[in-house]
Amino acid sequence: MKISVIGCGYLGAVHAASMAHLGHEVVGIDVDEARVATLAAGVAPFHEPGFDALLQENLPRLRFTTDMSAVKDSTVHFIAVGTPQAANGSADMTYVNQAVESLAHHLSPGDLVVGKSTVPVGTATTLAEIIAPTGAMLMWNPEFLREGFAVEDTLSPDRLVYGLPEGDRADEARDLLDTVYEAILAQGTPRLLVNYATAELVKVAANSFLATKISFINAMAEIADVTGANVTQLADAIGHDNRIGRRFLNAGIGFGGGCLPKDIRGFVARAEELGVGESLAFLKDVDDINLRRRRRVRTILEEELGDLSGKRIALWGLAFKPDSDDIRDSPALDIGESLARAGAIVTAFDPAAHGPASRRVTAAGLQDSILFAESPADAATGADGIVVATEWGVFRDQNPEAIAPLVNTPLVVDGRNCLPESQWKAAGFTYRGMGRS
């Protein structure tokens, strides 16, 4: 089948290459010429395991362009543009609206437009009205991919959610998307047929639940800190209950990235618009708990070292999570900036995120106080404290015996509770975890 994907950011680029992998002829459209040129050359514009190979293998069935009219040969059109956070916390719909309005000029009767972007509930109904005069149909098909597992999540998702139009075209729309996803459905992937509003809500509800789970365990970490309990053992113990489950119960410096923080804020803003703000009032607490975790690292360092001005802090990790170079709303980078503003000299190392992080550091005017190191050991040399802010395997695997002679003060703050505590203590370090001191 001929498919277009509008928006070639994280979601769109991976989706386009994955659809080509399923055997479809795909054109990816993006307004960013540099991104289009990079993708067309078979180079991934971001760090994502497996994506370079997928892109290169499928280039014969993949094309990238800035020209929207290239969609006209396609039957199915995926909308995968971003919905960044607006100043008031709501989702900024500028790109989605522009994409659909511009796409509408090139649609033919019988075409299917499939929304994948994360949008406020109610959006699909409005967009369906814009495309109705063309004779095309609209479905909402939210995406649940995780960075670091984007290819796997796209080709082998936990479930497919089809938000179908009301009325007699629902079957036609469903059958077209079934054809696109034939190979995925053949794996036995559950497919849920719902209406537009449900499909839109599934996405933000899932991310809100995950965010709540993380903030719940981080709230327990706060209690653990004042009672002498160990939050990791607590999570293990409650996680054995299948109704609770152990995943997404890792306490630490909290969630970041381009999705969870903005999605809970956008959901709150939308509920307020709908007059049901009270229903999601708890998500503001989820957000507050999460942001408190970032401040906690600085408090621990001040407890151990006093005034931070002139202190050298090694920051292990800049990306918002391992296996990613994404620094959007990254707790790690936020902590680095806050320490630098407190007068510390931060020496950072991340296996993938130096490029985007150094641009942000320069833009913030902090380039003299946040320096970039060649390795974890290089960052730790002369440090008064090491902060583990992203749980990359390379940090977990460091030998504390080898790090100890390099540092000025043997202090490690394990912001992700990922280090082998006893080994670091045995090497002479003061170990401070999150909710396990």
Q: Write out the residues near ligand UGA by the rule CB under 6 A.
A: 118, 143-147, 207, 210, 214, 248-250, 252, 254-257, 259-260, 320-321
Buried b (16+ CB within 10 A) or exposed e, 98-116: ebbeebbebbeeebbbbbb
d(CA 335, CA 416): 13
- Closest separation in Å from C-beta 34 to ligand UGA: 23
- Closest separation in Å from C-beta 107 to ligand UGA: 26
The answer to whether the CB of 174 falls within 8 A of the CB of 162 is yes
d(CA 428, CA 408): 12
Q: Which two tokens stand for residue 12?
A: 């769109």
Q: One-letter amino acid identity for 289?
A: I
Cβ count near 235 (within 10 Å): 22
- Closest separation in Å from C-beta 147 to ligand UGA: 4
In terms of CB distance, is 65 or 232 closer to ligand UGA?
A: 232
- Closest separation in Å from C-beta 421 to ligand UGA: 18
Q: Which two tokens stand for residue 220?
A: 């327990």
d(CA 202, CA 119): 11
In terms of CB distance, is 104 or 248 closer to ligand UGA?
A: 248
In terms of CB distance, is 9 or 410 closer to ligand UGA?
A: 9
In terms of CB distance, is 71 or 214 closer to ligand UGA?
A: 214
Among 116, 168, 97, 165, which Cα is nearest to 137's? 165
The one catalytic residue in 16, 17, 219, 259 is: 259
How many CA atoms within 13 Å lie on the side-chain side of 34? 2
The answer to whether the CB of 199 falls within 8 A of the CB of 127 is no
- Closest separation in Å from C-beta 401 to ligand UGA: 28
In terms of CB distance, is 165 or 435 closer to ligand UGA?
A: 435
d(CA 413, CA 407): 14
Which runs of E-coded beta strand occur in 37-100? 62-65, 76-79
In terms of CB distance, is 28 or 252 closer to ligand UGA?
A: 252
Q: Which two tokens stand for residue 331?
A: 């707790």
- Closest separation in Å from C-beta 331 to ligand UGA: 6
The alpha carbon torsion through 369, 372, 374, 379 (nearest 10 deg) reads: 40
If you ran DSSP here, which 8-state letter would residue 277 be given?
Answer: G
Region of 246 please: left (phi>0), alpha (psi -120 to 50) or beta: alpha
In terms of CB distance, is 7 or 410 closer to ligand UGA?
A: 7
Q: Is 259 a catalytic residue?
A: yes
Partners of residue 387 on adjacent β-strands: 315, 413
Q: What angle do helix axes 231-239 and 196-227 make, rounded to 10 degrees?
A: 130
Region of 77 please: left (phi>0), alpha (psi -120 to 50) or beta: beta
- Closest separation in Å from C-beta 67 to ligand UGA: 27
* Residues catalogued as catalytic: 259
